[in-house]
A and B are shown apart, each in its own frame.
Chain A
């Protein structure tokens, strides 16, 4: 049956009135074709010998010197024992600062600390259980995650060790090894690893005077604006630990303002994304190594599981505006969920996804999602539509997009081979959003079509359709023509109504002019009254207003009904730039 209807639609509707039914037909048109010949990116710089090891969430673009020249700040991981990881700052394409880090960093953030301070954001680097804060590229503050509770037995073992010098060492150590190794403090773990009695004695006498402590390392971080969405307003660091703790810190004092756990069952957070404002309402989306994606909102002490992915999560991004959660998993799937966790669509990639990157384009009022793929290409999606492919030769390991130096639309790509690449989005790039929406069909049918059951009624109906196809078609055509006629009549009716609004006797013409795009808009509104082609009056009014919508009424004295009414919709002026 469906195929018959399709045939009708194709053969007849399409010929009759292509415009009217253009939208539903798109469903049957082939996949949209991306024009790869239009390069939308300028190749600014590539350094293949940078030998960087940088993963997703380990690079930020920030105005770290407060001079409006945005820098690239990244961590360069060194996994060999004898080498230390590094914190590097690039000015433009040039490395300007390079310092060692005490431990292997897991993630990096940048945020403004206060409204009153000089407008210089700090950098936060997570190393083990420490959040190291750098200001002006120098160490500034260190926040250590609060220690985890120690097992009661471990506690008593160390108590006994410190109090009783003639203790039976072997039985005490046996007590210690009866505790699961993973839940011991690093000190006890080390003690159990020692071989000779002498070593053990030395170790105990060295440490017995202090309590053992256990910290969970920080696994991921993000930031959340405190009370305004302004780009330079203070933002709270949010950190998550291996033990599932989530801390929201005060941006000025770096003390925890809120503490929660990622979810009821033990789950290790691996990516954090936050939206909203701490003082008003916020949503923290937590992706966990176990494949669950949890949501934490203002006032909650425990995250709620929204989504359970079937494969390991590579990366997630929350799209601003509609808060859609885009997830990339190790089974090459890119999936889109609503903020409530309902799956909207998914797309299988040809190769592994290595990283994701949000690409906000305020001048086009949209955000794209960059998907880094093994092999080197980066696909850009707007919603479910693929709008651009950046071809590369090396697999990207981390991508960042934002302002660098004076340029607002820079993409920084670090590859698994250690190269660093800077690309700049062309001013004239438009990604053909309009076309994309018109031409593309759902890339994949995720939901099956709602086919009716093969009931007796259905079979009879389809029989009838087959037998009387011609009649039904003609009937349909007749109705369609009738509908068009009604629509055309209504249009004519409406147009004639409109032209006569309060304008039967007079020919009043209104025209508005905006002479210059400036902060103080001055509109000039001209009223022309014509009577039998003779210009009777010519009024010009100027008024100043900063509002976007203007309503103009021309009224006769002592008469309530306006002769002419008009609304003027002003083009938006971007105040943030003008200020």
Chain B
């Protein structure tokens, strides 16, 4: 890493907040995932998480980076809200219920709409996929999910898929570490 890059990297850390957009179908576990990263006093009992209406804004810290997460509702009637937040986000977390085989086509349809959107298509915005609910009996492996969604065809953006269990927290930290790293690079490159 050159001196300039180091400097920019430093700037990246100093940047106060990064915005991440958390999307995925309803019931995939988005709110549960974000809840895991909140500090203890803000955490909600897992049993008290209800379907999100519209969206909610949550803040948490991870590896010295302050995240502002836009937890969108995944219900069909609210999905057209997602695109209004594409422009201002530095990273996307896409949560997939890996046990919901029936709706994998719907996930793919929504992902294609996301990737084709003008505010996303020509940016190198990192996308983190959580292949969530890995504890469920019917859950598909993250490899199968990646294949079903055609992730290998995403050439112009960094992406990563982690199998996760949002209830126990398994897999979440690994994924978000990757995202933090990518966002840092993304901001560094943009600042250069």
Please give the residue numbers on chain A whose beta carbons come within 8 Å of chain B beta carbons, in ascending order: 42-45, 92-94, 363, 404-410, 422, 424, 426-428, 516-518, 574, 577-578
Specify which of A94, A406, A574, A577 is in contact with B103 (CB 8 Å cutoff).
A406
Contact A406–B101 (Cβ < 8 Å): no
CA distance A426 to B113 in the complex (A): 11
Kindly list chain A residues whose C-beta atoms are within 8 Å of the C-beta of B110.
Answer: 427
Q: How far is the CB of B79 from chain A (nearest CB, A)?
A: 6
Contact A424–B106 (Cβ < 8 Å): yes
Does B38 belong to the interface (CB within 8 Å)?
no
Contact A405–B77 (Cβ < 8 Å): no
Specify which of A44, A404, A516, A574 is in contact with B77 (CB 8 Å cutoff).
A574
A519's closest neighbor in chain B, by CB? B53
Kindly list chain B residues whose C-beta atoms are within 8 Å of the C-beta of A427.
Answer: 76, 79-80, 106, 109-110
Kindly list chain A residues whose C-beta atoms are within 8 Å of the C-beta of B79.
Answer: 427
Contact B53–A407 (Cβ < 8 Å): no
A406's closest neighbor in chain B, by CB? B27
Contact B105–A44 (Cβ < 8 Å): yes
Query: Can you give 22 A-B contacts (C-beta < 8 A)?
Result: A42-B106, A44-B104, A44-B105, A44-B106, A45-B102, A92-B100, A92-B101, A93-B102, A94-B101, A363-B76, A363-B77, A405-B102, A406-B100, A407-B106, A422-B102, A424-B105, A424-B106, A427-B110, A516-B54, A517-B54, A577-B53, A577-B75
Interface mask (B149-162 → A, CB under 8 Å = 1, otherwise 0):
00000000000000
Q: How far is the CB of B139 from chain A (nearest CB, A)?
A: 12
A68's closest neighbor in chain B, by CB? B27
CA distance A426 to B27 in the complex (A): 18
Does B26 belong to the interface (CB within 8 Å)?
yes
Kindly list chain B residues whose C-beta atoms are within 8 Å of the C-beta of A406.
Answer: 25-27, 100, 103
Kindly list chain B residues whose C-beta atoms are within 8 Å of the C-beta of A517.
Answer: 54
CA distance A426 to B77 in the complex (A): 12
Interface mask (B82-95 → A, CB under 8 Å = 1, otherwise 0):
00000000000000
CA distance A43 to B27 in the complex (A): 21
CA distance A501 to B76 in the complex (A): 43
Contact A44–B103 (Cβ < 8 Å): yes
Contact B105–A410 (Cβ < 8 Å): no
Specify which of B26, B54, B100, B105 is in contact with A518 (CB 8 Å cutoff).
B54
Kindly list chain B residues whose C-beta atoms are within 8 Å of the C-beta of A426.
Answer: 109
Contact A94–B105 (Cβ < 8 Å): no
Contact B102–A44 (Cβ < 8 Å): yes
Kindly list chain B residues whose C-beta atoms are within 8 Å of the C-beta of A43.
Answer: 105
Contact A578–B105 (Cβ < 8 Å): no
Contact B77–A577 (Cβ < 8 Å): yes
Task: Take A516-B54, A578-B53 as given contacts and tell me if A408 and B102 are in contact as well, using a CB distance cutoff of 8 Å.
Answer: no
CA distance A250 to B25 in the complex (A): 39
CA distance A517 to B77 in the complex (A): 13
Does B177 belong to the interface (CB within 8 Å)?
no
Task: Take A516-B54, A517-B54 as given contacts and tell me if A407 and B102 are in contact as well, using a CB distance cutoff of 8 Å.
Answer: yes
Please give the residue numbers on chain B whose beta carbons come within 8 Å of chain A beta carbons, in ascending order: 25-27, 53-54, 75-77, 79-80, 100-106, 109-110, 113, 138
A41's closest neighbor in chain B, by CB? B105
Q: How far is the CB of B174 from chain A (nearest CB, A)?
A: 27
Known A-B contacts: A42-B106, A44-B106, A577-B75. Give 5 more (CB < 8 A).
A407-B102, A424-B105, A427-B109, A574-B77, A577-B53
Kindly list chain A residues whose C-beta atoms are within 8 Å of the C-beta of B106.
Answer: 42, 44, 407, 424, 427
Contact A42–B105 (Cβ < 8 Å): yes
Task: Take A43-B105, A424-B106 as given contacts and tell me if A408 and B100 are in contact as well, using a CB distance cutoff of 8 Å.
Answer: no
Kindly list chain B residues whose C-beta atoms are within 8 Å of the C-beta of A518.
Answer: 53-54
Q: How far is the CB of B86 from chain A (nearest CB, A)?
A: 16
B28's closest neighbor in chain A, by CB? A406
Kindly list chain B residues whose C-beta atoms are within 8 Å of the C-beta of A574.
Answer: 77
CA distance A424 to B76 in the complex (A): 12
Contact A408–B76 (Cβ < 8 Å): yes
Kindly list chain B residues whose C-beta atoms are within 8 Å of the C-beta of A407.
Answer: 102-103, 106
CA distance A336 to B192 in the complex (A): 68
Top-5 shortest CB links A-B: A42-B105, A92-B102, A406-B27, A44-B105, A405-B102
Kindly list chain A residues whose C-beta atoms are within 8 Å of the C-beta of B80.
Answer: 427
Kindly list chain A residues whose C-beta atoms are within 8 Å of the C-beta of B54.
Answer: 516-518
Q: How far is the CB of A519 from chain B (nearest CB, A)?
A: 8
Contact B101–A93 (Cβ < 8 Å): yes
Kindly list chain B residues whose C-beta atoms are within 8 Å of the C-beta of A44.
Answer: 102-106
Kindly list chain A residues whose C-beta atoms are within 8 Å of the C-beta of B102.
Answer: 44-45, 92-93, 404-405, 407, 410, 422, 424
Q: How far is the CB of A431 from chain B (nearest CB, A)?
A: 16
Q: How far is the CB of A314 from chain B (nearest CB, A)?
A: 29
A92's closest neighbor in chain B, by CB? B102
A91's closest neighbor in chain B, by CB? B138
A423's closest neighbor in chain B, by CB? B105
Q: How far is the CB of B95 from chain A (nearest CB, A)?
A: 13
CA distance A407 to B104 in the complex (A): 11
Kindly list chain A residues whose C-beta atoms are within 8 Å of the C-beta of B53.
Answer: 518, 577-578
Most buried by A among B27, B100, B106: B106
CA distance A574 to B113 in the complex (A): 25
CA distance A516 to B110 in the complex (A): 25
B53's closest neighbor in chain A, by CB? A578
Q: How far is the CB of A361 from chain B (nearest CB, A)?
A: 11
CA distance A490 to B79 in the complex (A): 44
Q: How far is the CB of A89 from chain B (nearest CB, A)?
A: 15
CA distance A577 to B77 in the complex (A): 10
CA distance A578 to B52 in the complex (A): 10
Q: How far is the CB of B83 from chain A (nearest CB, A)?
A: 12
Kindly list chain B residues whose C-beta atoms are within 8 Å of the C-beta of A404.
Answer: 102
Q: How far is the CB of A39 from chain B (nearest CB, A)?
A: 10
Q: How far is the CB of A63 from chain B (nearest CB, A)?
A: 14
B26's closest neighbor in chain A, by CB? A406
Most buried by A among B79, B100, B105: B105
Q: How far is the CB of A426 from chain B (nearest CB, A)?
A: 6
Task: Take A363-B76, A406-B27 as given contacts and tell me if A424 and B101 are in contact as well, using a CB distance cutoff of 8 Å.
Answer: no
Q: How far is the CB of B166 from chain A (nearest CB, A)?
A: 16
Kindly list chain B residues whose C-beta atoms are within 8 Å of the C-beta of A92.
Answer: 100-102, 138
Task: Take A426-B109, A428-B113 as given contacts and tell me if A405 and B100 are in contact as well, using a CB distance cutoff of 8 Å.
Answer: yes
CA distance A304 to B113 in the complex (A): 53
Q: How far is the CB of A78 from chain B (nearest CB, A)?
A: 27
Q: How far is the CB of B98 from chain A (nearest CB, A)?
A: 13
Kindly list chain A residues whose C-beta atoms are within 8 Å of the C-beta of B75.
Answer: 577
Specify which of B26, B104, B138 is in contact with A94 (CB 8 Å cutoff).
B138
CA distance A428 to B101 in the complex (A): 21
Q: How far is the CB of A404 from chain B (nearest CB, A)?
A: 7
CA distance A408 to B106 in the complex (A): 12
CA distance A42 to B100 in the complex (A): 15
Contact A45–B103 (Cβ < 8 Å): no
Q: How far is the CB of B151 from chain A (nearest CB, A)?
A: 18
B27's closest neighbor in chain A, by CB? A406
Specify which of B103, B105, B109, B113 is in contact with A405 (CB 8 Å cutoff).
B103
